[in-house]
Structure 1
Amino acid sequence: MRSCVIIPARYKSSRLPGKPLIDLLGKPMIIWVAEIASRAVGVSNVFIATDDDRIANAVNQKGYKYIMTSSSSLTGTDRVAEASLGLNYDIFVNVQGDEPLVSPKDILRCIDRKIKYKGHIINSYNLIYEDQDPSSINIPKVVINNAEDLIYISRSLVPGFKDIKYKINSYFKQICIYGYNKKELLNFLRFGGKSEIEKSEDIEILRFFELGHPVKMFKAHNNSLSVDVVEDIEKVERELRLRN
């Protein structure tokens, strides 16, 4: 089955404007992500979906293809869906442009899971680092069953507890690698706006829940760190030094 990676990248981030072009050890963050994706599926099957000429020029200078998308795209998945309209692939993998520590192995595993679970949206997860605060609203927490089906995802601390003695010891966070087919992406795009739960949590995968699409999770090899706020940059650069 033909697979590609689409990396959504917008310049006007509310928390960190210009985020895709943030310098990490002398290289724009979007290029770190594109290089990882190319190691998984090849440069010719990597596309950056953006609405900003600065991002388009930056990736073009490094030999990567870009697709200009609407400035009104509601989420990264909407942007990926729009970009997919002119592409002929069986599987579309969405790797967020603020995840410069994802593993190529996890992109390939996402593709494998999508081949196996054709009727599911695919997403990834891992343990929350010990030095991270599970209650942070910047970290979407996931709850899964023994079959790795997603039960719920929230910025709140889930699962919750009524009695402190039943508080769980380890929490899982979402890693932003997604796998879909074109029909699923078009269903997402044609919904016409954010769903109520999606708006409340500000987590786009919840729109698939309201559309009736089940989500199958897989545990990532790497415990990725995303860049959400300025304070994350130093942590990510430190980890990049260790890995490279």
Structure 2
Amino acid sequence: MQILGIIPARYASTRFPAKALVDIGGKSMIQRVYEQSSKATHLSQIIVATDDERILDHVHQFGGKAVMTSENHQSGTDRCFEALQKTEGNYDYVINIQGDEPFISPEPINSLAKVLDGTIELATLVKIIDSQDILCNVNVPKAVLNKRQEVLYFSRQTIPYLRGVEPENWLDAHTFYKHIGIYAYRVDVLEEITKLEVSSLEKAESLEQLRWLENGYSIKAVITSDDSHGVDTPDDLDRVTRKFLS
């Protein structure tokens, strides 16, 4: 399988403008994401998809590959499709790697890539929840899986609801999954889903991936032990810097 890794990197960010270029221990965030992702042995190539010349030039300066994409994309998925169209080569899948995880491990990327066999339409990562705080945090999407390890539904609420069990005992009574937002798309499916209109479930939960489920696409879930350490705010940056560079 030929798999293209794409790192979407916008310049404008409501909570943290220019975070792709912020310095983290002598390297920019986007450089750290690029270098960590480059360690994933199952990727054929990695590129940054950006909407700003400053990010484009910076990636080229540290020796990375990047393409310019529109400022008007509503999601990283749409940006990935445009970047795919502008990248030479024939690819079977695209993996969308979050541009705000400077210390991402290559292992979950490889784990996701390993399941891509040509029949899988879409795939993503999930992690078993072991914290009551995470379980009840509406900012952390959860996933419910079927017996084939495909996603039945994503929600910000704690699902499923365990009738007859006190909430403080739910982790002992059932396996809950946290969704980690790295996606793999088969290239024909990537083109199709970028043409879909925003769905009612997507609007309700503010989760893009529900649009795909609502339109009948199958999403394979790959269970990982690695957690996500995204940077959405300057406070997040302080937290991950202390964790990984102290």
TM-score by length of 1: 0.87
Q: Deviations 1:30-74 (Å, cap 9, x if unpaired)? A: 111111111114897111011112221221111111111111101
Q: CA deviation at 1:128?
A: 4.2
Q: CA RMSD in A?
A: 2.4
What SS does structure 2 have at the residue aligned with 1:190?
A: coil
Is it true that 1:240 corresponds to 2:226 in the alignment? no
What SS does structure 2 have at the residue aligned with 1:40?
A: coil
1:102 aligned partner: 104
1:175 aligned partner: 180
Letter of the 2:241 partner, please give it: E
2:69 aligned partner: 69
Residues 20-31 of structure 1 aligned to structure 2 (within 5 Å): 20-31=20-31
Mark the CA change 1:202 to 1:2 in structure 2 (over 3 Å): closer, same or farther: same
1:228 aligned partner: 232
Asked whether the equivalents of residues 121 and 219 of structure 2 are also in contact (C-alpha less than 8 Å), the reply is: yes
Return the alpha-carbon distance in structure 2 between the equivalents of residues 132 and 16 of structure 1.
Answer: 25
Q: Which 4+ residue blocks in structure 1 deviate beyond 4 angstroms? A: 41-44, 161-164
Q: CA deviation at 1:162?
A: 4.8
Aligned length: 240
Identity value in percent? 35
Q: Which is further off, 100-109 or 49-58?
A: 100-109
Q: Which is further off, 60-69 or 218-227?
A: 218-227
5+ residue gaps in structure 1? none
Mark the CA change 1:162 to 1:77 in structure 2 (over 3 Å): closer, same or farther: same
1:78 aligned partner: 78
2:95 aligned partner: 93
1:215 aligned partner: 219
Return the alpha-carbon distance in structure 1 between the equivalents of residues 245 and 180 of structure 2.
Answer: 21
What SS does structure 1 have at the residue aligned with 2:48?
A: strand
Task: From the CA coordinates, give the structure whose radius of gyration is larger.
Answer: 2
Q: Which is further off, 128-137 or 52-61?
A: 128-137
1:112 aligned partner: 114
Q: Deviations 1:75-107 (Å, cap 9, x if unpaired)? A: 011110111123321111111111223321221
2:158 aligned partner: 157
Return the alpha-carbon distance in structure 1 between the equivalents of residues 43 and 220 of structure 2.
Answer: 27
